[in-house]
Amino acid sequence: MQKQSGNPQQREERRKIKFGFEIAALTVLLFLHASLFGQTLNEEKVVVETFPYKYIDAYGGHLLHAPDAQGFLATQYGKPHFTAIAYPTISANPVGDQVSINTFRLQMQALRRSGYTSIMPIDAETFYELGTGLPEKAVMILLLDAAEESINQVEDILNEVGFSAVVCHYADEIGPDGIISSDTLVRLANTGRIRVGTRGYSRNYINVYDRYENYLGVLTSKEYDALKDFIDDDYEFAETDYIRDADRIPSETESAMRLRISNNYQKIRDVYQGVLGALPQLYVFTEPNTGAFGNVELASRINGNNIRQDYPINYNRQGTALNTKDSSAYDLSYIYVSGNQPVNHLLMRVWDDTADEQSFAVGNETEANRWMLVNGVAEFGNTNIILTSEPDGEATLALRGLMIDDCDLSVRMLGSAAGRQSVYLRTDRNTRAGIEISVQDGVMYIREAGQTLETWLQKPISFMQSKYSREEEELAGRIAYAQAILDNESNQELRKQAQETLDQLRRIKVKGISEGAESADARFSSSSRTDIQLRVRLIADKLTVWVNNQVVVSDLEVRSHGRGVVALGAGVTDGSYKALDPVDVVDGIFEGLEVMPVHADNSVYYTYTTRIATTSKSVADNVASFVSLAIDKVRKALTFK
């Protein structure tokens, strides 16, 4: 699990900066396409009325423009910089916060379409030494814990878009029993497309407490993985602090901590010198956002001295993608991609941090033209609409040309659990009127003109609320801890104690939810998703709501009358910031949307198109990609020779 900062910066002043509006046409590729293929593009454009963004149709996406050259953003971002994006393990069968191969492919294509050029560690090193060496839109891709089983597919994707990347492992994960073999690491280092960094020697944890403040002490990576469902963020990585007792008092001396941390750096040297004959080209510090290189001054000094001795650059912070000359080469920052975040989610975060122009994915333009995008960005996929909020804000999408009164609506909500997803009926395009049915931070709300009518605590939404009581969850965590010691500990005395503890714990009986005990708290991460089949029937002044085929609200009286617009929404909430890894961008994912009359007359108000138009636009995309890659190769040859 990637530990992240929990204090997102407010951006009120940035929200007040006025964006300029401009319209541009990209005609060269259209002419080329018409000449080559004798086809024409559909001239109907997506009309977007929104502040503060202006969109320009471009190669299947929309360009999100940076602000004008005035005010806070200009002083903050109007200088050379590069973007850094870190990925966890990329897998064909992702679990937890791992990223799927397809998501990685789509995101790399989106970055390429937005005009980014990837850079190597040497480019960043040159930038900080000389202030030069970066292309106009530079990005460094960090592959944390790249796995043997998928690295070939990852390489293929990088080759497709002309990107390079840096693989970063813990040294003890390299080898026949690790996640990547020595031979593969050597091959990657010699490809020219991949460079090698490191995350340290091992992923070990100290001063660990579970979410009920039970002291777990020191955990290996295997023990932590077995217990992570019972641990929030009350732990430290081994390099950052003294080992402490249950009362948080240091239980080791300064000299013992110095020796322990220093030995790990020597082990890193031994492993990489043995495998590659050289040290890695960058370091990604194990625990980001500590303020320096640790949580106490001595640990920080030990880590800082070793990192500066062995590595030219170091990533020390997480939460922003922006790296400028004002920062230090040893205090670089990255954003972390968790789970299968949509393409526009990533681009929105990058735009928020860097103000770089982005080409957002639109998808099916025919379907997009049926909607008015009020704020945020939207992608119209094969079976779903992905609505991505503005940073610290919201996204709203209103259906064009349909003013209705009574209706029967159904949709599957698959978006961010830590945030809000909404359906609006009898509303206006700004959703200031009418009825809102939303799922927000695990709770369903029904509001009318902003007034909450009914709050329903997720009985049919199984994962939104723990199935267990607090007592049951705490007991399960203690049992899992004893079992983890049995499974991983070689010391026979410790194993004997763990077995005795396990036998005792299994005899304990505690109250469950059905017996009146308090439910355990629901916990979300940025990759947590809802899976809710919603149905809403609105007739005159009565509203009925089904969730997962169960009636949860029946004939609720409403005051909104008359015809109005159908709209969708997504937004950042307090729960977004309280997630295990706080986020300031939220995705609403709406699958299989249907709006029907309440009387069965075989008519349909609206049904989402379940196809992607394969028009000449996709051919133009391919031509654009080819030309762009060719230009990129020339630029690299000139810039980095």
Parallel, antiparallel or unpaired: strands 99-100 and 90-91: parallel
CA 252 to chain centre: 37
Above pLDDT 90, what percent of the chain? 58
**pLDDT category of residue 445 using cuts at 50, 70 and 90:** confident
Distance, first Cα to last Cα, the chain:
39
Confidence (pLDDT) at 610: 53
Kindly give the pairing relationship between strand 81-87 and strand 322-324. Answer: antiparallel
pLDDT at 577 (0 to 100) = 67
For 123-140, the pLDDT digits (tens) are: 999 999 988 779 989 999
Q: What's the rounded mean pLDDT across residues 489-495? A: 90
pLDDT at 462 over 50: no
Does the pLDDT at position 410 exceed 70?
yes
**What mean pLDDT is predicted for residues 467-473?**
85
**Where is pLDDT greater, at 289 or 24?**
289
pLDDT score for 180: 95
| pLDDT band (50, 70, 90) for residue 289 | confident
pLDDT of res. 32: 35
Residue with tokens 């194990």: 286
Residue range(s) of every CATH 2.60.120.560 domain in the chain:
364-463+524-607
Cis omega (within 30 of 0) for bond into 52? yes
What is residue 466's predicted lDDT score, i.e. its pLDDT?
Answer: 66
Please provide the average confidence, as pLDDT, over all residues in the chain: 81
pLDDT of residue 632: 41
User: Averaged over 423-427, what is the pLDDT?
Assistant: 95
Q: What is the mean pLDDT of residues 179-189?
A: 94
Tens-digit pLDDT profile for residues 574-590: 766 666 677 789 999 99
Tell me, what's the pLDDT at 77? 54
Q: What pLDDT score does 454 carry?
A: 62
Lowest mean pLDDT among 40-54, 59-73, 424-438, 528-542: 40-54
CB neighbour list of residue 244: distance below 8 Å, 6 or more residues apart: 206, 207, 250, 251
For residue 441, the model assigns a pLDDT of: 83
In order, the DSSP letters of 43-102 are: -PPPPB--SS----EETTEEEEPPPPSSHHHHHHHSS-EEEEEEE--EESS--TT-EEHH
Quote the pLDDT of residue 622: 37
Residue 233, phi then psi, degrees to nearest 5: -130, 25
For 361-383, the pLDDT digits (tens) are 999 888 999 999 999 999 999 88
**What is d(CA 93, CA 371) in angstroms, rounded to the nearest whole number?**
34
Q: Is the pLDDT of residue 612 over 90?
A: no
pLDDT at 422: 95
446 or 63: which leads in pLDDT:
446
The CATH number of 12-202+238-354, from 3.40.50.970, 3.40.50.300, 3.20.20.370, 3.40.109.10, is 3.20.20.370
Q: Where in the chain is the domain with CATH 3.20.20.370?
A: 12-202+238-354
pTM of the full predicted structure? Answer: 0.81
Segment 616-634, tens digit of pLDDT: 333 333 333 333 434 443 3
Mean pLDDT of 532-553: 92
Fold of 364-463+524-607: Jelly Rolls (2.60.120)
